[in-house]
Structure 1
Amino acid sequence: MSGMTRPVRRIGRRIHSLESLEDRRLLAVSPIITEFMASNHATLVDSKGNSSDWIEIHNPDSQPVDLNGWHLSDKESDLSKWTFPNVTIPANGYLVVFASGDNVAVAGSELHTNFKLSESGEFLALVAPDGSTISTAFAPEYPPQVTDVSYGLSQDGVTVGYFTAPTPGSVNGAEPVSDQSRQVVISELMYHPSSEIDAEEFIELRNNGAAAVDVTGWQFNKGVDFVFPAASIPAVGYLVVAADLAAFSAKYPGV
């Protein structure tokens, strides 16, 4: 996985010089993206029963905020790609929008963007009605995502990372986990044993970092249908995933 990407709050090209009270207030207490999931398999389902990706918007203000005319976009070249209808987030409240590609922007209905999120990483932003003022942006792109693990901001808005216990529509819980996954690599792979015994297949992982990495809930992207149970890899240590533990132990008794 690539390095961490901190969401930024910035002013767009067309209004960077405006000084009105309204514009300053917009930047000071504007709604923000606090959490999203780009690889949702079993965390949250929409009204159609689909496990669509989702984006959580938080209103940090002590007053309700009207999102009518605001935008969500996954393209920096098209900041007004999807537009909110007349919907309000209460004071200190949350709103979940499904990133399903179904394009539902009807007040009072479940909201769906006209784009989906890429689990391999892409640009994501919440943009003011002018189509230029960016309230929150994961730019140039957020890092690759993990199935049923969300990504976002800590409660204080300082730390960005992964949440292994997602909380769509409510305050984020524990501190997000940093991008330790880039420290873990596949160091050895046995996919065609000379014995022709499939049970002797294995994958060896190495943690190149200076601290242990919790791999609970991790999965391989393709080819291997396996979810890691509660486990961790020690610093500069190894972990072996075997097709059959008994066959592996018999073949490699010293491991």
Structure 2
Amino acid sequence: MYHPPSGSGFEGSELEFVEIYNAGENAVDLSGAYFNDGIVFTFPDASSLDPGEFLVIVSNTAAFQERYSGVSASGEYEGQLDNSGERVQLLDASGQLLFVVDYRDSSPWPSEADGAGKSLVLRDPSLLPSDEDDYSAWRASSEELGSPARPEPSLDIVQVVINEVLTHTDLPLVDAIELHNPTGETAEIGGWYLSDQYENPKKYRIPNGSSVSPDGYFVVDEIAFGVGETGFSLNSHGEPLWLFSADENGNLTGYSYGVEFGASDNGVSFGRYVLSTGETEMVALSERTLGSENVEPLRGEIVVSEIYYDPSAGGYEYIELLNTSGENVRLYDIENPANTWRINGLAFDFPSGLTLQPNQMAVVTQVEPSVFREYYGPLEGVMVLGPYAGALDNAGERISLQKPDSPDLVDGQVFVPYIDVDVVDYNDKAPWPVSQQEGACIERVDLVGFGRDADSWALSYCEQGSPGWVRGMSYEVWKRAWFSDEDLQLVELTVPTSDFDEDGEANLWEYATGGSGRISLVGINQTNPEGGGFEMSVRRSLYPSDVVWNLWFSDALGDSGLWEERENEAEAITRTLLGDGSELIVFKGEIIGEASFFRLGLSLEN
């Protein structure tokens, strides 16, 4: 019980407790076992816990016994459990880990345990969580104030969820809430409550006799839940929403389900979305689906494409953005130009008057733009902004790219709602990409994938980041990053077949081999190894998705030569990552005839 409510004449912090349970078949010797992370406590000699037995240690014995009359405490610990979440571990006398949990006070951890009267309990005490931060192994207690030193009552209730919420509408649309029954049995929800306040659950009462069929949906709109003395409205600026189980007499029966959402564009609903990890998020949907299965999340016009959050390998911390919309995107409210886009989590507000063009990247960095360009190259077409105050958290945090909505009046004051365009909730633990080297930079591998999903990300090909390069990029994106606006006016010089920097290498070659269009790279080498045949090495960028490589052979040059593509007569025998976003490929083939010639051809996929 990490955040109990105050009561019985004591502050909430004095009413904390930690319960230990032996789910095994043998007694456990706790002599000298200790907590040293989160709270401090050492078990005295001869302490043991029999199979199926509970024990409780507390913050304040007098406070605990006042609230939980008749329940014995095995000791008082020093310190307090963090209401925001922390790591708590129990070790045996030799220092071996017995149990650890790294709980949090926000979704997907049960928020009912965060000051709302419930404790945090294992769903199945006989099973160890898969990881210390495995939220799915925990739930809020069935009983108010928990059930210390005794088994947790089971919840024999069909667990309906809040599945979609429409909060920002103009007539003829009205705000609405959709419930979903993901189970295989009918859910009788007559008498249940919906509320926008956990501490005041009995607001809108679902009519008696209401039910949700297996895998079915139940929709109620503000015409129903917004009337009467206990009616409420949905806040278009964002708020929490709760569902509470109750019997037909209105008595709460222990189950609750809560969601939280932010501001949204007019007519855009939020829906429950399941990540690859099994966690759920309420996200803006690409279309409203009230009464039916949710569709994919709405994809913002600008996405976060790279985060270099731990620059201990060298270079400078930054966040890279990419305009994937195909249109110019103004980074401010057209009607209120002083209200600009921002990155929440960095406390960075974009300067006024900026527009990001199609395929253009922006980099927001911790240092002056001139310092950044000196280190990473000119990046002629990339908008480099900064510096921002503070630093990205190396352990992970939520980064939200947000745009301003129209100002509103709240309690007589002007309020500017901000709408999430793209959100990344990265961390330094699996399933997020984990670096085995110094530093950590992650790149988005799926530009149309959901930014909060770890499956959309991978470690960067470059240890110190790769601004100006994006996984699966096209020639158009590369051209926009490495040529200035003035350069792009010279259309004939920036097409793939031209040689902008006049170094003898076409723009397409420099793109395909990891160049910038302004820097000459050694791209191809040929040798004749012992035993005959030939070997050819070529540097190839790992980022493009639209480059086609072709190997051609001929037995003569000039008019008499006939070039043929012979894919099967040359194979890549080695691939070596170079650590800079490219790889070195060595091809090996047989000499054909008395004299053979070969060439490497490049083209772009249509």
2:4 is aligned to none
- Structure 2 residue 187 is matched with structure 1 residue 61: no
**Compared with structure 1, are the counterparts of its residues 40 and 191 closer, same or farther at alpha carbon in structure 2 (3 Å cutoff)?**
closer
1:144 is aligned to 263
- Structure 2 residue 171 is matched with structure 1 residue 52: no
2:242 is aligned to 125
Shift of 1:149: 1.0
Could you tell me whether the CA contact under 8 Å between 1:53 and 1:99 is conserved in 2?
yes
For 1:188 and 1:68, the matched residues in 2 are separated by: 45
- Structure 2 residue 227 is matched with structure 1 residue 103: yes
**Compared with structure 1, are the counterparts of its residues 59 and 39 closer, same or farther at alpha carbon in structure 2 (3 Å cutoff)?**
same
Could you tell me whether the CA contact under 8 Å between 1:185 and 1:205 is conserved in 2?
yes
1:170 is aligned to 292
1:34 is aligned to 163
Could you tell me whether the CA contact under 8 Å between 2:286 and 2:297 is conserved in 1?
no
Cα RMSD for the two superposed structures: 4.2
Q: How many residues align?
A: 185
Which residue, out of 190, 197, 201, partners 1:75?
197
Shift of 1:78: 0.5
**Compared with structure 1, are the counterparts of its residues 163 and 37 closer, same or farther at alpha carbon in structure 2 (3 Å cutoff)?**
same
Could you tell me whether the CA contact under 8 Å between 1:69 and 1:85 is conserved in 2?
yes
Could you tell me whether the CA contact under 8 Å between 1:55 and 1:96 is conserved in 2?
yes
What runs of 5+ residues in structure 2 fail to find an aligned partner? 1-105, 119-142, 305-320, 322-328, 338-351, 365-402, 409-466, 469-488, 490-606
1:232 is aligned to none
Shift of 1:60: 1.1
For 1:168 and 1:209, the matched residues in 2 are separated by: 38
Shift of 1:205: 4.5
Per-residue CA distance 1:85-122 (angstroms, 9 max, x = gap)? 12011111000111345438xxxxxxxx8211001011
1:197 is aligned to none
Q: SS at the partner of 1:154?
A: strand
- Structure 2 residue 244 is matched with structure 1 residue 115: no
Structure with more of its chain in strand, by fraction: 2
Could you tell me whether the CA contact under 8 Å between 1:119 and 1:145 is conserved in 2?
yes
Q: Return the letter of the residue paired with 2:169.
A: N
Q: SS at the partner of 2:288?
A: coil
**Compared with structure 1, are the counterparts of its residues 219 and 187 closer, same or farther at alpha carbon in structure 2 (3 Å cutoff)?**
closer
Which structure 2 residues correspond to residues 197-208 of structure 1 after superposition, within 5 A?
A: 204-205=354-355
Q: SS at the partner of 1:128?
A: strand
Could you tell me whether the CA contact under 8 Å between 1:190 and 1:203 is conserved in 2?
no
State which structure, 1 or 2, has the greater radius of gyration over its C-alpha atoms. 2
Could you tell me whether the CA contact under 8 Å between 1:159 and 1:176 is conserved in 2?
no
TM-score scaled by structure 1?
0.57
Which residue, out of 85, 89, 92, partners 2:207?
85
**Compared with structure 1, are the counterparts of its residues 190 and 167 closer, same or farther at alpha carbon in structure 2 (3 Å cutoff)?**
closer
**Compared with structure 1, are the counterparts of its residues 191 and 20 closer, same or farther at alpha carbon in structure 2 (3 Å cutoff)?**
closer
Per-residue CA distance 1:21-53 (angstroms, 9 max, x = gap)? 4x2x33xx41000110101237xxxxxxx4220
TM-score scaled by structure 2?
0.26
Shift of 1:136: 1.8
Identical positions, percent? 24
**Compared with structure 1, are the counterparts of its residues 102 and 73 closer, same or farther at alpha carbon in structure 2 (3 Å cutoff)?**
closer
Shift of 1:181: 8.9
Q: Return the letter of the residue paired with 1:34.
A: N
